[in-house]
Amino acid sequence: MLTLYDYLDSGNGYKIRLLLALLNRPYRWVEVDILSGATRQPAFLAKNPNGRIPTLQLEDGTCLAESDAILWYLGEGTRFVPPDPLGRAQVLQWMFFEQYSHEPYVATPRFIKRHLSSDSPRRAELPRRLEQGRAALAVMEAHLATRPFFVTERYTIADIALYAYTHVADEGGLALAPYSHVRSWLARVAAEPAHVPLTRRP
């Protein structure tokens, strides 16, 4: 059986929990306390030398890291990854956008606000990060003005990757009120049968 090393409040981990729920695929769930440094301990580093959750352990013991690579591994061959080369590349384009232009500016402020002390020096990063977060949301808003989902008119793993932290962006200080197309898309994603919320412990 698959084993997912994860942390409940992580949007990156939630991506995998959400896809596994949509696929109705059973798995073992192991919570790793990232706040106490458990991902920096030798036992965890043996699974993922980059010291991050989520990490997926396959039946043969092989460990796979990086949330969007895990989404691809689980999604290829299902309805959540398009079969055509251009559609596949566009799914990856939005997943790389998510990791490079979105996650550091939408997810990291949420982490700083929720998990670091009120006098953490990292709070000084918030204004610049939030400014770039608004830029990422503006790119998404323009793209979704004429489409129901990010790629090929259908719900794909690109939507899962971007939903994970966008739907809780307000917890990091990014109000979603100005982004009506993003909000409609969030509602479409949440309406998918078998959808599970971020806070649901597997």
Residue 116 touching its own copies (CB under 8 A): no
User: Considering only residues 101, 149, 171, 173, which one is a binding residue for its own copies as defined by CB under 8 A?
Assistant: 101
User: Considering only residues 92, 126, 176, 196, which one is a binding residue for its own copies as defined by CB under 8 A?
Assistant: 92
- CB-hemisphere CA count at 13 Å for 193? 2
Report phi then psi at 63, rounded to 5: -110, 135
Q: Computed from CA positions of residues 123, 166, 13, 71, in that sequence, does the dihedral angle turn out positive or negative?
A: negative
User: Considering only residues 78, 100, 131, 200, which one is a binding residue for its own copies as defined by CB under 8 A?
Assistant: 100
For its own copies, the binding residues in 32-71 under the rule CB under 8 A are 49-50, 58, 62, 64-70
Report phi then psi at 37, rounded to 5: 85, 15
CB of 100 to its own copies, least distance (A): 5
Closest C-alpha among 40, 16, 38 to residue 28:
16
Name, in order, each residue with C-beta under 8 angstroms of 136's C-beta and a sequence gap of 6 or more.
97, 101, 102, 105, 106
For its own copies, the binding residues in 120-149 under the rule CB under 8 A are 139, 142-143
User: Considering only residues 76, 116, 120, 180, which one is a binding residue for its own copies as defined by CB under 8 A?
Assistant: 76
Contacts to its own copies by CB under 8 A: 49-50, 58, 62, 64-70, 72-73, 76-77, 85-86, 88-90, 92-93, 95-97, 99-101, 103-104, 139, 142-143
